[in-house]
Amino acid sequence: MLNSPEQVLLSIKNSNKILLTAKKNADTDTIASLLSLYIILKKLRKDAQIILDTPKIPLRLKFLPNLDALLTPIVPMNKFIISLDITQNKIDEFTYDIAENRLNIYLTPKNGSFDKSMVSCSSGNFKYDLAIVVDTQDIEHLGSVFENNTEFFYKTPVINIDHVAENTRFGQVHHIDLTATSTTEVIYDLFFPKNDNLLDEPMATTLLTGIIAKTKSFKTPQITPKTLNMVSQLLGFGARRDDIIQNLYRTKSLETLKLWGKVLLGLQYDNNLKLAWTRIERADFENSGAGEETLEEMIEEILNCSPQAQIIHLAWQKQEGKNKSLVYSDYFNTLDLTKPLGPKGTKQTCYIENETETLSVWMDKVNAKIKQSLEALPAKNR
């Protein structure tokens, strides 16, 4: 595996058709990273497509440019080829039908007959000659994009771009900048300022959207002077900061507001643990009309209601009956706090699923594990 910005740029230069993808249920930084890369590659005259296992794009991101690029359906990356040798005998008729889950192909030769020795099967060339995966800690987190195309990912060069230590370093080329606040910041640093001729207002707005979302509007402790200088550069290129803030934080559907009201009403707080938590029953989603994708946006609202909170735990019941928890913290590694429960995600935000307990019992179980993990830490680290 290679780890250098130069190798990333060289791989892109030598490729003709590029797949852009990321983790299932992508967040704002992920989507902004994909769209930024898509715009950059188009400006570099590269044929690029985004394929993403995300059911729908959040309403708050509808203002971003090139959003239609996210709507490419998930399809196989190559074709299965059935070949018939017709050197000695040409085809007179060709028909097919599907019966009992079988595709039947009927061939009538002009003379003589065909036999099975004349038939062969093979896989065609892959549709893309390079894959770029962004903001994804493990390749299996791609969901059905990976599950339905494992051979493609094993046989095609993969570039892995991320900003967290939990990244498993999959792929042949990886560029992981642990000093960056977000993957959009990594992408900016990779291409600019050396390619400032590619930077315009739509791209600047897209990049700034990812940075603002990931840093909770510059409130997280990971902000660095480099980040602030980058933001200044993006604003200089016309990034629409007011539009970003309006859409990310001030534009909510009535359905979302109904759900948030219910969630905040049930918010609880432990002053000793500095832990805030709440649960969302399936009926709360159904009565409000809002979806699960709105919950991650609630972190900001909970921090506003409980500014002393250092850990936030949201527990809800998924549509298929499973329980799911989101644990967020700017101060502790959430993967360590919940380790025995099988969390997935990053040290800042992890997700855990369960299908054996009731939602109330599950929420208490996660809270108890967080408490146990905190009590095991040295006093100076609490």
How far, in Å, CA of 364 to CA of 357, rounded?
10
Q: Using the structure block, give the residue that is written with the tokens 């085809």.
A: 91
Looking at residue 381, what is its pLDDT? 62
Q: Spell 252-273 as b/e; 16+ CB within 10 A means b.
A: beebbebbbebbeeebebeeeb
Q: Which CATH superfamily is domain 4-75+127-248 in?
A: inorganic pyrophosphatase (n-terminal core) (3.90.1640.10)
Query: What are the residues whose beta carbons fall under 8 Å from the beta carbon of 23, sequence distance 6 or more?
Result: 30, 135, 136, 137, 141, 142, 143
Segments making up each domain of the chain, as ranges: 4-75+127-248, 79-124, 254-376
Q: Are 40 and 191 in contact (CB under 8 A)?
A: yes
Question: Is 3.90.1150.10 the CATH number for 254-376?
Answer: no
Q: Are 80 and 123 in contact (CB under 8 A)?
A: yes
Looking at residue 2, what is its pLDDT? 63
pLDDT (tens digit per residue) in 148-179: 999 999 999 999 999 998 899 999 999 999 99
Looking at residue 14, what is its pLDDT? 95
Residues lower than pLDDT 70 in the chain = 1-3, 55, 379-382
Q: Which residues pair with 105 in a beta bridge?
A: 96
pLDDT (tens digit per residue) in 261-304: 888 889 999 999 999 999 999 999 899 988 887 887 788 778 77
How far, in Å, CA of 206 to CA of 183, rounded?
12
Looking at residue 294, what is its pLDDT? 81
Evaluate whether 4-75+127-248 and 254-376 have a shared fold.
no
Looking at residue 113, what is its pLDDT? 86
Query: What are the residues whose beta carbons fall under 8 Å from the beta carbon of 116, sequence distance 6 or more?
Result: none
Please compute Rg for the chain using Cα positions.
25
Phi/psi at 214 (5° precision): -70, -30
Phi/psi at 213 (5° precision): -65, -45
